[in-house]
Amino acid sequence: NGYYESRWNRCIYSNRDFSDMVFIDNYAFNKDVDVHFNSTVGYYVGYTEPGVHYAQLWNNNTNQLQQERAEVERYCKYNAEIRQSAIADKR
């Protein structure tokens, strides 16, 4: 009984040079995604009434939007390079 709120993000890619890397950030309430950010789209999309409201607020916040767009480089590529080099060192 109660409410369940979660946030999860993913870095998805298939090329070793990370040229196709995508950062996805999801916000969910009771297991339903309210707001979604995809770096290839470059802005938030709301799927529920509260999600649409938050997406509008966050899309109008240029600092937040720039920070979210930069996560591909800052978070995804940085960590993928570390993992890739760790795997390559094991060969």
Mean pLDDT for the chain? Answer: 92
CATH number at residue 79: 3.10.320.10
pLDDT at 80: 92
pLDDT at 91: 58
What does the pLDDT average to over 18-24?
A: 95
Domain holding 9, by residue range, is 5-88
pLDDT at 89: 66
Question: Does the structure show a pLDDT above 90 at 90?
Answer: no
Helix, strand or coil, per DSSP, at residue 18 = coil
Q: Count how many domains the chain has.
A: 1
Q: Which of 21-30, 34-43, 67-76, 82-91 has the lowest mean pLDDT?
A: 82-91
- Cβ neighbours, 10 Å, residue 86: 9
* Residue 70 dihedral angles phi and psi, to the nearest 5°: -80, -10
